[in-house]
Amino acid sequence: MAQVNLSTSDMRVAIDIGSTVVKVAEFDGDDILARQQLYPRDFDCGIEKQIISLLGKYPAMSDVRICSSANGGLRVGVVCLTQLFSGSVFRNQVLSAGANPIYVHDFEKTDGDLRPVDVLLVGGGINCADAGPLRARLDHFSANKYRYNIIMYAGNADLASSFVEKYPDAVVIDNPLADELTGKRQSVSKVLREAYLLDLVYKEGVSGLGRLVRHAIRATPEVVSRGFRRVMSNRSSFEVSGPTILIDIGGATTDIHYTVEIIRRDSEVKPPTGSSIARYVFTDLGIVASRDTTLLQIRSHPRTFEFLGRVMPKEVRETYVSLREGEYNPSPTLMAYACLFLCLDRFTLGRGPGLPTADLDRVAQIILTGGGGQALDEDVVAGITRLFPSDERNDPLVIIDRDYRIWAEGMMLATNLSGFD
């Protein structure tokens, strides 16, 4: 196994392994971003060999940190006691781990989304011996119709043995609801962070990288979320104030990070209690791996003509006809604008499992980041935001993170050698 030789200098290196590119950022001793480089993924060489080769270009580094979104993230399906409470707790912990919740079902209604997932997470209820109703629901539960690689149980601890008897391959983890309905125990997040790396090992060949560096490999969305928190706490080079939306447009997913005060008071879904910042993942919106699903949605959307008018007004009619007939091959930039439009459209309507309803009138800034956000134009983005009804016209300030600074600053939040704080 090749080893990385670390020097006694103050230079640190952060690496993000994406679906198509590898980002390498250099930081000085004060955690100030010095420069970044983008390298195309070498699929013939493989991730491990490519990363080792790239690190050879930085012989003076004293520290290396790695995150990855190479396969679009860990896909998790949740089946639990109730969608509104247990499901909300599980979903939030899945998101905080940087994984993607594909659906949340309850034991009473399990006939919805059945897309394949990497992990099927089953649980609910607090730890108590008197759990007759939950035991009955678990007895009637069947995982046969779900498509998954791993099944996990994170419910009432007194029923864990019964669940394992029914599903011998199940992984049992601590109940996040514990003995009271707080959901503060981060057991699901912890296990899914580890599962994320295993997922990368099998799908992308990252197994050797964990032995090359001193820090745990993290999911890119988790790092971006940390960077966003840094922005909103005024510890970033980004100067923003007021309610903010950060949209990370990638190849496989579009992630939205937001301050919770933008959520409408009449929203049926509420952000996590006690949180000031939340995240939602649109797993079907992306410019590469999710290109087909994104294209299908923008092609059939009732406001596609209006959308195209904001993005390409000189060619809108011809493009609209060609797109509707399935003959148009949109550029990556147009796909990124489509991800932005569809994301905001759903967010303002609350159309998505577990997605609150947002009020764009309350938004002071919209920040665009990720590989899909680099080529976007601030004026065009502002024009897209005006497509949504407004009681009080309040155009948010559009900021495009063209050098991935939010990601880079999120990578530098660690203060110990065991992993990110």
**Residue 400, both tokens:** 């495009």
Do 266 and 394 belong to one domain? yes
Distance CA(67)–CA(64), nearest Å, equals: 10
Based on its alpha-carbon atoms, the radius of gyration of the chain, rounded to whole angstroms, reads: 22
Tell me, yes or no, whether 332 lies in a domain.
yes
**Stretch among 169-178, 219-228, 353-362, 408-417 having the lowest mean pLDDT:** 408-417
Statement: residue 216 has pLDDT above 60 = yes
Residue 122 has pLDDT above 70, yes or no: yes
Residue of 248, 262, 280 lying closest to 360 (CA atoms): 262
Question: pLDDT, tens digit, for every residue of 148-172?
Answer: 988 999 888 888 888 899 999 988 8
**81 and 192 together in one domain:** yes
What tokens were used for 361?
A: 């009138």
Report DSSP letters for 364-379, one per residue.
-EEEEESGGGTT--HH
Closest CA relative to residue 396, chosen from 235, 258, 236, 264: 258
Q: What is the mean pLDDT of residues 175-203?
A: 64
> Would you say residue 224 lies in a domain?
no
**Residue 31 above 80 pLDDT?**
no
pLDDT attached to residue 210 = 67
In a domain, 184, yes or no: yes
Number of domains within the chain: 2
Structural domain span for residue 168: 75-197
Q: Which residue has the higher pLDDT, 321 or 18?
A: 321
State how far the alpha carbon of 361 is from the alpha carbons of 182, 277, 390, 412, in Å. Answer: 32, 18, 6, 33
pLDDT of residue 303: 96
Q: Which residues contact 126 (CB under 8 A, 6 or more apart)?
A: 156, 175, 177, 178, 179, 180, 181
Q: Assign residue 255 the CATH number of its domain.
A: 3.30.420
pLDDT of residue 1: 38
Closest Cα to residue 150, out of 71, 74, 222, 69? 74
60-119: pLDDT as tens digits: 677 888 888 766 667 889 988 776 677 778 887 887 776 778 888 888 766 667 888 888
Residue 58, domain member (yes or no): no
Token couple for 418: 């065991």
Query: Does some domain include residue 209?
Result: no
